[in-house]
Structures are given as structure tokens and as C-alpha cells.
């Protein structure tokens, strides 16, 4: 029996296990959207901007640990997806983006003109550099092949998004499902190095001879879904762990092996541990410049460095930055952990030693130093106190989505993770406005069974404020913690460092304006709570969390609040601002090439 092509697409999506599709209507996508709506296995969620649709699908995929789907029309509808597509691509998140396109008989073809059909845009060419696969359907009989290939490419090796562009006239073509050509295997795959026996033995030897080892855990641990294997591995070897932002929730705060988060906006004591290490084992982190600092070759200067990653290009990039990796293992982490027996781990187990005590001392000294450096603020709420109290108030199964800027930096330094809490962020694209639509996606991905928190600065909130309507339409009980510092604090901190604290385009005086958030909340029908002082903060937060519906909790923090500590560009990661007294720094950062044991 003939099937309408758009109905086949909807059925294909449902059979992937996807139950929610994010879409904004448009003339070239109507058949796809109507088919999704008509499919009883699919829920249609309609945000108010295509960027929000893309970010909703991205958040859905991150929380579900599988594919997300978004639909947009041709032209501006499709191009509005692009920022969300980049969020998926740079964080290796598999999202299928379906775009409508002008009918094939209105296509520019080989005419050389810019546009023939209304809103015609070459979205496949635009998106190809930031997708695993991008294709435009020109033959309806190829729809099964191209959809299956897109999914295979999205999941192969280092994951990522795909774009399938479907012309309007082809969406309504009738096809015979049993005559459609299937896709049978990748015609281009990821190059993989074998994890051979010599490499395994060399890694175990490196661990066994280390005096100051540190394991780095990255977002790839979550992507590979090997959280339990990772914990078993490091606990068996008794190795301390430094966490990237993408793996910040991998271990509870009180785990004895958890050193904390490191990097340019990490914790000072964790940076000291990494920079003083004599052996680094990086698992599932691409070791970007947030992790290594700048120049890149200042990273862990005295350590024997082992990097395990699925992407050969990430492993090879360090040559151009004059950073030596001593052992390179290109493999999926699921395969990596299978190569070690319990006896292997027992033999190489690291003994409890002075290294653990040293890290405890650093943590005590630096926590006190940075607490004093955060000068008492004249008014409003201390953001570090806010995030600490919020983390204490949130249940262990809470999903926390944090937007970019100071909000994520403060969260990574102040949040105290409980076992089971998950924190999500678009770690590498760091798009302003991501968290609120991603929280909508997270709600549907979790089946509405977990407490949901969205932490967002006032600047980022304005990028997606229209999605409050989506929240209320679907009765999503998200608790939005709006960190209001009257502008862009992260930009102001950069302007402090380099531009004489001239807050152009980052403050009210510099050209930014904001609404009255209480009135805005009333317009959308949300419960509104104002917090403008530290007193009774925990009690107010617990009241917010206990409310059965959506809440906009505006927390007023001082405009002068900054991320403390952080690394100024050009300094190594251990030398964070505010700078420590040079004598104190030299005594604590005591390693030199001569002092490292061979």
C-alpha cells in the first residue's frame, strides 16, 4: 500500500525510539509536521524560534542519551537552526535535523542565479562543515537509504548531528515502502587504531611507576555511557580524578578520589594537582584550551601524558602546539575498559600516599585564599553562596541545565554534586540562550520524572525568553534561577583585564537594557520570586523547589561580582587570578624539571 513520504519519515523517527519532535511551522515543512502530529507515537513540541527547536532537540538528546529530532522550514527557518546544530556538533550529540526545501521544480539547479523558489537557501552546503552528514533528497525512492545513512553516520565513531533536507513536493509523494533501498553499512567510516597488547602493557607500567598520577575525565565518558566502568577502573587503581566541565557530575563531591573541576575557570587546587602531576591519563576529553590553558604546551609540563580518544584528529593536534603526548590510544572508551582485567588493576593499584595528602593541603589553602579574594559585596547575593546553597537544596536526582557566561563558571566552582545529579551545558559552543529551551527538551527526555532546574544569567535569558510560553503551554515545572547582574559579567571581567573596565555593550551604561522580570513573569503566567539578599536564601530556594509548577526566581547579584579564580589568557593554569603572592606561589608550586623523579 502506498505511503506518503512525510508519513514514512515520521514513522522512521518513531522507530528510532524518539517520542518528541521539536518543530516550527513553515510552508516548506508543513507535510513533515502534519505527519509527525498524526503519528500516535510522537509528541509535537512547538517552540517560538527555530534556534530554540534545535536546542530543545539537543537537550533532549543529551538527557536521553540518544537521538533528538528537530524540524524547520526552508530559508530562515533552516538557517535559524544553525546555532543549535553547532551545539550538537561540537559536543558530539546525535541530533537529526529535518528541513523543508522549495519544490525541486523551483530549485536554482545549474542556472547560476541566487534563488528561484521562495526562501530557497542551500542549507546542506551551509551545514556540511558542522554535521556528520548533510544531504538533500532529490529522488523519493532514496528516502530510506538517506535516513538510515544519516543515523549510521551520526552514531559512527565520534557522534554528531545530521541534516536531511526534503523538498516540499517530495514530502507528499506516495512511495512503496517495500521497494525502498536500504542503507547497508558505512561507505566512509572512522579510522581507528587497534588498542594492542604493547599499548596496554605500557599504560599499566606508566600507572605503576607514577608518584603523582591524575586521571582526567571528559564528556566522552558520558557519551560512551561507561560511567560505571570508569568508576570501577579508577577505584580499582585508586587514582585521583580531575574533572572537565562535561564530566563534572561524574563523581559525587565527597568521593575520596574526586579532586574537583580543573581548567581556566576551574578550581585552583585541582589545577595545581594537574600541573604538578607526573602522570596524566586523559579519558574522553579532547583537552581543549580551557583544559590545557594557553600556551597549550604549558599543560602538565612534567607529566607522562596518555590520551585516550575516539577522534584521530584530536589526538594529532598537539604537535602543532609543541605539546608531547607520550602514549596515544585511539579507541572508544567502551572498548578501552574491556582490555583490563581485575588482576591488571590490582597489580597497578596506586597506594595511598603523600600525593593525596598534598592535594588535601592545596584544597584547604586555596579555598581559604579564594574565599578571602572574593571581597565582601556591598549588596545583593553572593553568586558562590547562591550556587552552593542551591546545590545543597536540590534532590539527588535533579537535572540541572546551566547557560553560558559566569553562571556556568560559578556553578563549576561552587556546586557540590550529589550522587545521581546531572548537570548539562553546551560545553563547547556555549551559546547564550541554550539552557531554557534545552530544559524543555530535558523534561520530555526524562519523562517528567525528575526535578528540573535551569540556571541562567539575565543576558542569556533574553536570548530565549519567548520559550516561557512553551514552558507554560506544556505545564513544565522547571525552576528557573535567573542570575541578574544587570548585564554580561563575563564580558565585563574580560574588559577589566584588557580594556580598562570600559563596559561597552555589557552594561546598562554601555547600551544594554532589560525588562522588569516580575512583570515579564506575570505576562507569561509564571510564579515569581525575588531574592536580593543572602539572608534566608536556603529557605527561599527550598520554597521555590517545593512549588508544584514553573517558577521564575530572580536572584539579584552585584554588578561587580566576578569569577574568582580564573586564568588570564597567556598564563599557565596553575597561576590563576587573583595572583597569589609570588613567594607563596613558588613554595606551593614547588616542582621543577630537576625535582621530578625519573
Q: For the segment 112-143, what is each residue's pLDDT rounded down to a tens digit?
A: 989 888 888 999 999 999 999 999 999 999 99
* Predicted pLDDT at 376: 74
> 292: Cβ–Cβ under 8 A, 6 or more apart, which residues?
298, 299, 323, 573
Query: Residue 394: helix, strand or coil by DSSP?
Result: coil
> 496: Cβ–Cβ under 8 A, 6 or more apart, which residues?
562
CA–CA gap between residue 266 and residue 246 (Å, rounded): 12
Q: Which domains does the chain have, with CATH numbers?
A: 3-179 (3.40.50.970), 197-364 (3.40.50.1220), 375-556 (3.40.50.970)
CA–CA gap between residue 10 and residue 60 (Å, rounded): 17
What mean pLDDT do residues 382-401 have? Answer: 97
- In the structure, what pLDDT confidence band is assigned to residue 192 with cuts at 50, 70 and 90? low
CA 326 to chain centre: 28
User: Are residues 439 and 59 in contact, defined by beta-carbon separation less than 8 angstroms?
Assistant: yes
Edge-to-edge strands, sheet with 551-556? 422-424, 399-402, 452-457, 479-484, 551-556, 527-531
First-last CA distance in the chain: 73
Edge-to-edge strands, sheet with 327-330? 258-261, 241-243, 213-217, 279-283, 304-309, 327-330
What mean pLDDT do residues 33-59 have? Answer: 98
- Cross-strand partners of 95: 68
* Predicted pLDDT at 346: 87
Strand pairing class (213-217; 241-243): parallel
User: Are residues 531 and 517 in contact, defined by beta-carbon separation less than 8 angstroms?
Assistant: no
- In the structure, what pLDDT confidence band is assigned to residue 164 with cuts at 50, 70 and 90? very high
Edge-to-edge strands, sheet with 20-23? 43-45, 20-23, 68-72, 95-101, 162-167, 133-136
Would you call 140 exposed, middle or buried from its count of C-beta atoms within 10 A (0-12, 13-18, 19+)?
buried
Q: Over 70: is that where the pLDDT of 575 sits?
A: yes
What mean pLDDT do residues 44-58 have? Answer: 98
CA–CA gap between residue 95 and residue 88 (Å, rounded): 7
* Mean pLDDT score of the chain: 94
> 523: Cβ–Cβ under 8 A, 6 or more apart, which residues?
none
What mean pLDDT do residues 222-238 have? Answer: 97
State the sign of the Cα–Cα–Cα–Cα dihedral 368, 372, 373, 377.
positive
| Three cell numbers written together for 202 | 605500557
State pTM to two decimals.
0.95
Per cent of the chain over pLDDT 70 is 97
- Residue 433 Ramachandran class (φ > 0 left, ψ -120 to 50 alpha, else beta): left
Amino acid at each position: 500500500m502506498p505511503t506518503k513520504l512525510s508519513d514514512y519519515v515520521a514513522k522512521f523517527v518513531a522507530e528510532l525510539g524518539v517520542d518528541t519532535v521539536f518543530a516550527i511551522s513553515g510552508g516548506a515543512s508543513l507535510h513533515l509536521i502534519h505527519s509527525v502530529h498524526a503519528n500516535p507515537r510522537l509528541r509535537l513540541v512547538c517552540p517560538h524560534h527555530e534556534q530554540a527547536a534545535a536546542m530543545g532537540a539537543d537537550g533532549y538528546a543529551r538527557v536521553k542519551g540518544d537521538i533528538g529530532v528537530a524540524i524547520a522550514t526552508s530559508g530562515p527557518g533552516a538557517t535559524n537552526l544553525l546555532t543549535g546544530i553547532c551545539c550538537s556538533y561540537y559536543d558530539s550529540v546525535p541530533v537529526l535535523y529535518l528541513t523543508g526545501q522549495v519544490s525541486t521544480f523551483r530549485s536554482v539547479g545549474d542556472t547560476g542565479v541566487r534563488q528561484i523558489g521562495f526562501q530557497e537557501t542551500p542549507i546542506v552546503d551551509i551545514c556540511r562543515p558542522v554535521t556528520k552528514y548533510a544531504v538533500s533528497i532529490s529522488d523519493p525512492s532514496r528516502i530510506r537509504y538517506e535516513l538510515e545513512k544519516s543515523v549510521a553516520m551520526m552514531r559512527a565513531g565520534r557522534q554528531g548531528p545530521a541534516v536531511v533536507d526534503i523538498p516540499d513536493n517530495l514530502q507528499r509523494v506516495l512511495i512503496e515502502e517495500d521497494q525502498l533501498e536500504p542503507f547497508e553499512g558505512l561507505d566512509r567510516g572512522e579510522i581507528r587504531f587497534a588498542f594492542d597488547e604493547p599499548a596496554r602493557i605500557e599504560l599499566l607500567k606508566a600507572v605503576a611507576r607514577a608518584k603523582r598520577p591524575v586521571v582526567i575525565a571528559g564528556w566522552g565518558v558520558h557519551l560512551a555511557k561507561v560511567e560505571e566502568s570508569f568508576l570501577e577502573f579508577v577505584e580499582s587503581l585508586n587514582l585521583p580524578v580531575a574533572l572537565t566541565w562535561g564530566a563534572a557530575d561524574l563523581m559525587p563531591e565527597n568521593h575520596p578520589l574526586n579532586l574537583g573541576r580543573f581548567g581556566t575557570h576551574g578550581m585552583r587546587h585541582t589545577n595545581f594537582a594537574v600541573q604538578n602531576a607526573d602522570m596524566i591519563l586523559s579519558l574522553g576529553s579532547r583537552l581543549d584550551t580551557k583544559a590545557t590553558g594557553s600556551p597549550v604546551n604549558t599543560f602538565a609540563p612534567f607529566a607522562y601524558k596518555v590520551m585516550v580518544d575516539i577522534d584521530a584528529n584530536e589526538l594529532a593536534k598537539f604537535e602543532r602546539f609543541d605539546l608531547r603526548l607520550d602514549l596515544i590510544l585511539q579507541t572508544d572508551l567502551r572498548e578501552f575498559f574491556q582490555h583490563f582485567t581485575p588482576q591488571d588493576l590490582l597489580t597497578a593499584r596506586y597506594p595511598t600516599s603523600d600525593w593525596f595528602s598534598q592535594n588535601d593541603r592545596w584544597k584547604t589553602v586555596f579555598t581559604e585564599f579564594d574565599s578571602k579574594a572574593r571581597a565582601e559585596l556591598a549588596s545583593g547575593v553572593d553568586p558562590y553562596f547562591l550556587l552552593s546553597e542551591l546545590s545543597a537544596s536540590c534532590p539527588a536526582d535533579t537535572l540541572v541545565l546551566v547557560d553560558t557566561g559566569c553562571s556556568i563558571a560559578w556553578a563549576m566552582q561552587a556546586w557540590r554534586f550529589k550522587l545521581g545529579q546531572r548537570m548539562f551545558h553546551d560545553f563547547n559552543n556555549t551559546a547564550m540562550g541554550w539552557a531554557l529551551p534545552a530544559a524543555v527538551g530535558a523534561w520530555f527526555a526524562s519523562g517528567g520524572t525528575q526535578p528540573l532546574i535551569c540556571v541562567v544569567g539575565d543576558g542569556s535569558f533574553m536570548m530565549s525568553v519567548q520559550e516561557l510560553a512553551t514552558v507554560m503551554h506544556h505545564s513544565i515545572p522547571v525552576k528557573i534561577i535567573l542570575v541578574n547582574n544587570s548585564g554580561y559579567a563575563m564580558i565585563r571581567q574580560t574588559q577589566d583585564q584588557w580594556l580598562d573596565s570600559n563596559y561597552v555593550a555589557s552594561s546598562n551604561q554601555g547600551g544594554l537594557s532589560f525588562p522588569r522580570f516580575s512583570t515579564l513573569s506575570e505576562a507569561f503566567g509564571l510564579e515569581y520570586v525575588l531574592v536580593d539578599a543572602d539572608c534566608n536564601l536556603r529557605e527561599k530556594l527550598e520554597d521555590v523547589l517545593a512549588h508544584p509548577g514553573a517558577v521564575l526566581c530572580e536572584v539579584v547579584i552585584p554588578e561587580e561580582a566576578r569569577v574568582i579564580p580564573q586564568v588570564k589568557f597567556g598564563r599557565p593554569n596553575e597561576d590563576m587570578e587573583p595572583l597569589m603572592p609570588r613567594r607563596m606561589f613558588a613554595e606551593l608550586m614547588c616542582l621543577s624539571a630537576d625535582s621530578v623523579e625519573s
